[in-house]
Amino acid sequence: MTATNTSDKNWQRGFWSLILVQFQGAFSDNALKNLVLFLILGLGFFGGFFIVPVSALLQHRPSPRNKGGVLAAANLLSFVGIFLASGVYYLLVHLFGLNSSGIFLLSAAFTGVTALAIIWQRPGFLTEFFRSRFGNSSGAKHNVLPSINRLAGFNTKPKGPKRFNS
């Protein structure tokens, strides 16, 4: 049988063969490669746990009148960030002579400094965040998103009962 056969069984066999060939080098050399692969896959997997709720929040919270503008602005900012990141990469490689390891280390350092700045600005944020996710003994609910909602222009107070026009 050829790889162009469109039956599900052949397609699945070809897909998994391609996956095995792609990761063959990662699984055959040493344990460090396996660890790095595992961490990168985990980063991508758990990154989805961040971006999916943020996207759902952006789609759910704005009023129907502002929803298109909020989604367009979020999309524009994402692509502006991608464009700027490619420019920063070019500068780091061609002007500063960094290789991929140096750029990765610089990115990690920048992320760490940013995290420390956020913790310094809002010292109770981490405890508030973990209490909201894992509960606390008092049973009180904490909301970590009001400041983010205010920055994004979302109204955090309920407007009262919804009325539908027929």
Name the residue ranges covered by the structural domains of the chain.
9-60
Query: Over pLDDT 90: what percentage of the chain?
Result: 18
What pLDDT was estimated at residue 73?
A: 92
HSE toward the beta carbon, residue 156, CA cutoff 13 A: 11
Distance between CA 97 and CA 61 in Å, rounded?
Answer: 44
Q: At CA 99, angle to CA 95 and CA 105, rounded to 5?
A: 105
Mean pLDDT, range 118-144, rounded to an integer: 69
| Confidence check: pLDDT of 3 > 50 | no
Q: How far apart are the first and last CA of the chain?
A: 59
* 44 or 155: which leads in pLDDT: 44
What pLDDT was estimated at residue 89?
A: 93
HSE toward the beta carbon, residue 39, CA cutoff 13 A: 6
What pLDDT was estimated at residue 125?
A: 77
pLDDT in tens, 55-113: 888 888 888 888 899 889 999 999 999 999 999 999 999 999 999 888 888 988 998 99
Contact 97, 108 (CB under 8 A): no
What pTM was computed for the model?
Answer: 0.47
3-class state of residue 33 by DSSP? helix
Q: Which of 77, 75, 25 is nearest to 55 (CA)?
A: 75
* Structure-derived torsion over alpha carbons of residues 33, 39, 58, 141, reported in degrees to the nearest 10: 180
3-class state of residue 165 by DSSP? coil
